[in-house]
Amino acid sequence: MKYKYIPVIGMEVHIELSTESKMFCECPAFHFGVKPNTQVCPVCLGLPGALPYPNKKAIEDTIKFGSVFGCKINSISKFDRKHYFYPDLPKSYQISQYDLPFCHDGKYLLPDTNEKIGITRIHLEEDTGKLIHKKIGGTKYSFVDFNRSGVPLLELVTEPDFRDLIDVSSFLKEIQLIARYLGISAADMEKGSMRLEANISVAKVENNSLKELPKYKVELKNINSFKFLEKALKAEIQRQKEMLEMGEKIIQETRGYNESSGNTFSQRTKEEEKDYRYFPEPDIPPIEVSKKEIDEIILSKGLLHSDFRKILRDEYSLPLNYVEYLIGKKSRVEYFINSVKKGKKFSISPKTLADLIVNNKFDEKYEDTSKLIQAVQNLQKKVYSGTKEVDKAALRVIKDNKKAVEDFKKGKTEVVGFLIGMVQKILKGKGNPKDIQKSLLSRLQK
């Protein structure tokens, strides 16, 4: 009997928050392109005796983010120590959250398929330093830059609800837009302010139903782009399917992806939770967030890309590709909405404005929406045909529509509308209605 196999995928998404200071000290959090080890202090270097104090803004950002997914917000949360050894982690533990994260049990409905993705938890932790590997004079060296050490890092963990790769990338793009619209992170994959890990297993389907989730999962780490993720997932799903078909057992481990060979490779067997020896961070008391504070944070959220998606699609009836392009950037969609409001006074349709922004990048040409509206008006004037062309078309229409001309002369003046339409047809809609009427009447009334 041949079984059918389907992938079971869960995602872990790390997002670096763009707060001014780091998670537990006053050092600046922005570290891209900054000279190594210039933004450090005893706290983020993990020197003995240094005391961490949490960043309020980072906590608010996390709760705001969690509210988008309808998460339950814990009124009491705490930080915990997660122990492991690595050269970019000087304390040999990371301050993270274990059993009381700020947010848990949420969900997200994917825009195209309405597929429900369960959000297990969203917690806050500190980022690690960064290892830089360099070859100097033929010798390999590794350097550590601690500027990133202690930068607030939000982690979102989903349920293993993904069954195909399109849903995974659709979800991740939504996450990226949510972080950007909330203004909590640039969520830039290339720079590493958004990082992904995937948990993958393959399940056997019998009689079209998935009886139970697999008892193992393989973690894919160090994924730095959506394309890379898709390739790595495909390769890993294939590997697992082949193993299952051969009757082999798949072990729980962490794997990486080699782009040139197109295969995943074993990095290490996966740690279990008990290996981290979590315990409450003794230097930071539990954090209480009141109902009132939570409500205020949620109220300050503003409109998200999904709200604009609805407005553009349902109120302005724009084509889907236009909608997705416009909402791709918050500043762009706000510019568009602003220009629609100004254009309304001059009967410029949302579709016209969307055309010019999507196809001709008018938003980049005219920073000020008033200037954009002016440009559109000039453009609309220019598209009218000259009076010579209008006269020529009017003459032809009068010649070709003798019956209508006779009717007009008998007093049926309403046929003018029909004649104007015929002239517009010749001019492909580019005639100024006033010019056409004038030209027709001067000939009809002779």
Binding region for Zn ion (CB under 5 A): 25, 27, 41, 43-44
Q: Is 41 or 298 the residue whose CB approaches Zn ion more closely?
A: 41
| CB neighbourhood size of 182 (10 A) | 19
**Count of residues making up the chain:** 446
Name the minimum Å distance from CB 59 to Zn ion.
18
Dihedral over alpha carbons 93, 95, 97, 99 (to 10 degrees): 50
Name the minimum Å distance from CB 44 to Zn ion.
3
Element (H, E) at 64: helix 56-68
Name the minimum Å distance from CB 40 to Zn ion.
6
Whether 351 and 316 have beta carbons less than 8 Å apart is answered as yes
Name the minimum Å distance from CB 263 to Zn ion.
40
Q: Is 58 or 100 the residue whose CB approaches Zn ion more closely?
A: 58
Whether 78 and 97 have beta carbons less than 8 Å apart is answered as yes
Q: Is 39 or 385 the residue whose CB approaches Zn ion more closely?
A: 39
Name the minimum Å distance from CB 165 to Zn ion.
40
Q: Is 9 or 44 the residue whose CB approaches Zn ion more closely?
A: 44
Q: Is 27 or 333 the residue whose CB approaches Zn ion more closely?
A: 27
* Distance separating alpha carbons of residues 68 and 79, to the nearest angstrom: 22
Which tokens go with 57? 């803004």
Name the minimum Å distance from CB 92 to Zn ion.
17
Which tokens go with 219? 């973690």
Residue type, 316: Y
Name the minimum Å distance from CB 22 to Zn ion.
5
Within 122-269, residue ranges assigned H as helices are 165-182, 226-245
- Can you tell me whether residue 200 is helix, strand or coil? strand
Q: Is 25 or 175 the residue whose CB approaches Zn ion more closely?
A: 25
* Distance separating alpha carbons of residues 189 and 195, to the nearest angstrom: 6
DSSP string, 299-367: HTT---HHHHHHIIIIIS---HHHHHHHHTSHHHHHHHHHHHHHHHTTT--HHHHHHHHHHH-HHHH-S
Name the minimum Å distance from CB 129 to Zn ion.
11
* Distance separating alpha carbons of residues 446 and 442, to the nearest angstrom: 7
Bridge partners of residue 96, in order along the sequence: 80
Residue identified by tokens 């949302």 is 350
Longest CA pairwise span in the chain (Å): 103
Whole-angstrom CA distances from 62 to 74, 124, 301, 304 are 12, 7, 12, 16
Q: Is 18 or 176 the residue whose CB approaches Zn ion more closely?
A: 18
Q: Is 46 or 160 the residue whose CB approaches Zn ion more closely?
A: 46
Name the minimum Å distance from CB 338 to Zn ion.
40
Q: Is 27 or 398 the residue whose CB approaches Zn ion more closely?
A: 27
Q: Is 67 or 94 the residue whose CB approaches Zn ion more closely?
A: 94
Q: Is 29 or 172 the residue whose CB approaches Zn ion more closely?
A: 29
Residue whose C-alpha is closest to residue 86's, from 221, 194, 201, 185: 221
Residue type, 151: V
DSSP annotation of 222 reads E
